[in-house]
Amino acid sequence: MINNTVYFHIGTQKTGSSYIQKNLEMNYQKLVEQNFLLIDIRGDLTRYYQKLRQNIYTQEEKIIYSYVCNPDKIKLYKNIEYYEDEVINSVRKQLHSGNKNIIISQEGFFDWHPLRFKSKLQLMKKIINNFFIDYQVVIIIYFRCQDSFLESLYYQCGRDLAYKISFTEFINQFKILSNKNSSSHLSLDWCDFINYIKIELPETHILARSYEIASQVDLLKDFYDAIDINCSDFPKISETTNPGLNKHGMKIMLNSGFLDLDDRRILLKLLREDEMFIKKKYDEKYSLFSDEQRLDIYHQFVNSNQELFGLSDELTEELFYPAPTMGQSILNEDVDEMTLFLINKVVDQNKIIIKKSTEHKLKLIKKNSYDRLPSPIKLYILHVIRLLKRLY
């Protein structure tokens, strides 16, 4: 008789997984009191899927994925079986005696590449066969509307490489990789992934949930409800896990292409630390998609999304039909001459400061006081932000 359940929350990416995980960690003891044990395998699973990406990786993907994780630069020298065993051993070490329901939350179990996703599902099967053969197995997976997902994924890639790749190039590469004839078919049809799970783990109960529907009310409560947890007395993390940039901050980043990578990263870091450029709940919305692009994506996947979430025609249109962007979808393509002028002007004005700072740095190096001097690039970046604040 099956009394306990193991819940695998596997993302997908860009659906609030980090936010859910931080709240689960904060309420670890409260979960124990309700007969739930939280198992954290994120570090070990990260090394496993980084190694997996080294083994199953196409040149086509590098346009997109090298901005998040370039497998050529990751130093993992052991074979894939070693990292797989590390994940399994991590689960073993954290299991406690007693009857507990288990929660394993890690979006690393999901993958856009079918072969990698199947490999991860096979690892999940090994974990189940080793430890949870007498448990009911439930997979919770959130899907985000395809246009919203692509835009959010671009922002993530942008944070890692400070928006070196344009949004148009990013979308075009995803279209190439989503081609059924491509050697690397990266699907955006969420039903494809549900079918993969059904094939690899046929005895598993799948809870496919809409990120948009859950977020309209409360994403965290939706997750707790899915696994039947009473969260009425659970404290909640209030801050945004990965704060984005508002319209003005994004405009600055998309006009900073003349800076090198390190300088753009410093600029992005400083913008994300400044309240004036952080996206807030009631800020004016903006988009990098055109209305035509959004409608194209909507019509491409509307039938699949409707089937997946079991929605009526009316509710599907209400939830997913893209609202007009009111002409705000040009941030990516149109250069803002004023912003570009200010950034260039500040860089030019601060060449003397940079030179003096460099000379000062050499003197400090001789005195073993290098750490006391801020990077010269930070000096003119701070001036950029001061000038841009006056503009906005």
Q: What would the pLDDT profile of 24-41 be if each residue is shown by its tens digit?
A: 999 999 999 999 999 999
Is residue 350 one of the residues assigned to a domain?
Answer: yes
Q: Residue 386's pLDDT is what?
A: 58
Do 204 and 57 share a structural domain? yes
On average, the pLDDT of the chain sits at 77
CB 73 within 8 A of CB 139: no
Q: Residue 222's pLDDT is what?
A: 95
Do 264 and 132 share a structural domain? no
CB 180 within 8 A of CB 247: no
Is residue 304 one of the residues assigned to a domain?
Answer: no
- Tokens coding 245: 């940039």
Provide CB contacts within 8 A for 299, sequence distance 6+. Answer: none
> What pLDDT, in 10s, does the model give residues 308-352?
988 888 888 877 777 665 444 445 445 556 666 665 655 555 444
> What pLDDT, in 10s, does the model give residues 370-388?
444 445 445 555 555 555 5
Do 216 and 270 share a structural domain? no
CB 277 within 8 A of CB 271: yes
CB 81 within 8 A of CB 112: no
Mean pLDDT of 126-150: 94
DSSP state of 260: -
Do 263 and 206 share a structural domain? no
Mean pLDDT lowest among 36-45, 106-115, 150-159, 344-353: 344-353
Domain around 383: 247-278+336-391
pLDDT over 70 percentage in the chain: 66
Q: Which of 147, 148, 149 is nearest to 112 (CA)?
A: 149
CB 167 within 8 A of CB 332: yes
CB atoms within 10 A of CB 251: 23
Do 140 and 106 share a structural domain? yes
- How many secondary structure helices (H) and strands (E) does the chain include? 18, 5
> What pLDDT, in 10s, does the model give residues 47-93?
998 888 888 776 656 655 554 445 556 677 789 999 999 999 999 99
**Whole-prediction pTM:** 0.80
Mean pLDDT of 201-217: 92
Provide CB contacts within 8 A for 61, sequence distance 6+. Answer: 113, 177, 184, 186
Is residue 112 one of the residues assigned to a domain?
Answer: yes
Do 257 and 217 share a structural domain? no
Mean pLDDT of 113-142: 94
Q: Residue 88's pLDDT is what?
A: 97
Helix, strand, coil distribution of the chain in percent, nearest 5: 60, 10, 35
Amino acid in position 56: I
